[in-house]
Structure 1
């Protein structure tokens, strides 16, 4: 316990935050196992909601769909609004709180920018998946900020990580965007109309791992934790890590099933390791 207090603020006096911390840690292993087993959230290459599927008509009766671009915008816009609104709803002179608000806002803005100007799309996204993921992003952003709102005025943790967190966040967000640009270049301009053509990514760290964008995304969330140093942000970083480990494993397995020439030395997430 003493070791934890050396790098964490004490738990906030909030039943909501403390409950969601526990619930988040308990729920994510289930999502990881679902990803590994192939029960993926239906977006990106794992979205099988297309007209050629024999069961698509019955599936669409149960769940409506939206265009992929609209769906992706729905994922990140509520979280961006929550992060941006925090500057006005929770004004504070606390440097740590200001850094966290700025990092969250920049992260969500980058995602929206990528949706509008970088990513290329074909097909649709199941609206239930869009709603589920959007709700998760929004609640996570709101709760990490709400949890931080209890820390101004408290004694700082013995080990101050916030500036290391800023560095990790910057490395993560730049690396993530760079590899998203490489992925976008794989799709020909104007490619769409329901046609999905995937290729083995190249460039950057794609020669070592198939999901470097996930690796850098993990760094972003650990940057959030190091900036904030709250128990909820720690649970969020751990949950994100576990989920993206499962997602990257499923992604590598997908490429292995689709491409006979997929290089076997390319790992899922961590170069030379996993």
Structure 2
């Protein structure tokens, strides 16, 4: 891995470090942490669709331009990627409750990241990386797919629990049951696990960069959410951790 492509992968690792440091001091102003002072806003549903669109669409375009686009393993990897991002881009926004809004500045930063991330991962899967058919039986691929699907399932389940609470019409409430017994943000835990599964399945620096960035972005968010719950609800379960059961 060299040249401009290698620099783009290194850029994503650098963004992960910068993001983690920044989010320690500043909580991104959307969702429950929404607040004034971040410029013009758009409806959250619109923001999610627009900012996530590069992930499935650009990925597909770059993939189809790659020399390995018709190979079996890259097609399976394409399916895994789209499994997540078609849901996140074209289904999840329409499941959102309430009239939340998102700053255009946050949306723009997400567009930039998703453009970079989709490009480096699609380029690796369809051009830079080499995946013979027997990669399908490699332990790294098999374990990676299992980890990916486990994280994906946890993420969907946890989001569904949160939507169910909002549907009750009582605003934010304490989520309970399942992984919510141990952590405040199993949705973030699931997504982090999912993309480390992707990194293992693809066995690629691009996949690892994405997994590291996901953790750098969502771990501080989980800590902020955990603190928000504890401040808002005096009866919040004291044994619950922010992201990792029994640890943190």
Asked if these proteins are the same fold (TM beyond 0.5), I'd say: yes
Q: Tell me how far apart the structure 2 counterparts of residues 147 and 84 of structure 1 sit (CA, whole Å).
A: 13
Deviation at 1:239, TM superposition (A): 2.1
Compare CA radii of gyration and give the structure with the larger one.
Answer: 1
Deviation at 1:27, TM superposition (A): 2.8
The 5-angstrom pairing of residues 61-72 of structure 1 reads 63-72=39-48
> Unmatched 5+ residue regions in structure 1?
1-11, 50-58
Which one of 128, 146, 149 corresponds to residue 123 of structure 2?
A: 146
Once the two structures are superposed, what CA deviation does each residue of 1:172-217 show, in whole Å capped at 9, x if it has no partner?
A: 111110110000011136x6xxxx9321112221111001011110
Q: Which residue of 1 aligns with 2:59?
A: 83
Once the two structures are superposed, what CA deviation does each residue of 1:219-254 show, in whole Å capped at 9, x if it has no partner?
A: 110121112111121122122123222221111111
The 5-angstrom pairing of residues 197-208 of structure 1 reads 197-208=171-182
1:243 lines up with 2:217 in the alignment: yes
> Unmatched 5+ residue regions in structure 2?
none
Q: Tell me how far apart the structure 1 counterparts of residues 100 and 187 of structure 2 sit (CA, whole Å).
A: 22
Alpha-carbon contact 2:45-2:93 (below 8 Å) kept:
yes
Q: Which residue of 2 aligns with 1:120?
A: 97
Q: Tell me how far apart the structure 2 counterparts of residues 272 and 88 of structure 1 sit (CA, whole Å).
A: 44
Once the two structures are superposed, what CA deviation does each residue of 1:116-154 show, in whole Å capped at 9, x if it has no partner?
A: 1x2213231101101111221232112111123212378
Q: Tell me how far apart the structure 1 counterparts of residues 84 and 74 of structure 2 sit (CA, whole Å).
A: 15
Q: Tell me how far apart the structure 1 counterparts of residues 240 and 173 of structure 2 sit (CA, whole Å).
A: 14
Q: Which residue of 2 aligns with 1:54?
A: none
Q: Tell me how far apart the structure 2 counterparts of residues 106 and 153 of structure 1 sit (CA, whole Å).
A: 20
Once the two structures are superposed, what CA deviation does each residue of 1:19-58 show, in whole Å capped at 9, x if it has no partner?
A: 1222222332332232222x12222112113xxxxxxxxx
The 5-angstrom pairing of residues 186-197 of structure 1 reads 186-188=165-167, 197=171
Q: Which residue of 2 aligns with 1:167?
A: 146
The 5-angstrom pairing of residues 13-162 of structure 1 reads 13=2, 15-37=3-25, 39-49=26-36, 59=37, 63-90=39-66, 92-112=69-89, 113-116=91-94, 118-148=95-125, 149-152=127-130, 160-162=139-141
Deviation at 1:160, TM superposition (A): 4.8
Aligned residue pairs total 243
Which one of 235, 240, 246 corresponds to residue 266 of structure 1?
A: 240
**1 or 2, which has the higher helix percentage?**
2
**Compared with structure 1, are the counterparts of its residues 259 and 225 closer, same or farther at alpha carbon in structure 2 (3 Å cutoff)?**
same
Normalization by structure 2: what TM-score? 0.88
Q: Tell me how far apart the structure 1 counterparts of residues 178 and 62 of structure 2 sit (CA, whole Å).
A: 35
Instruction: Please give the root-mean-square deviation of Cα atoms over the aligned residues, in Å.
Output: 2.4
SS in 2 for 1:125: strand
Q: Tell me how far apart the structure 2 counterparts of residues 83 and 183 of structure 1 sit (CA, whole Å).
A: 29
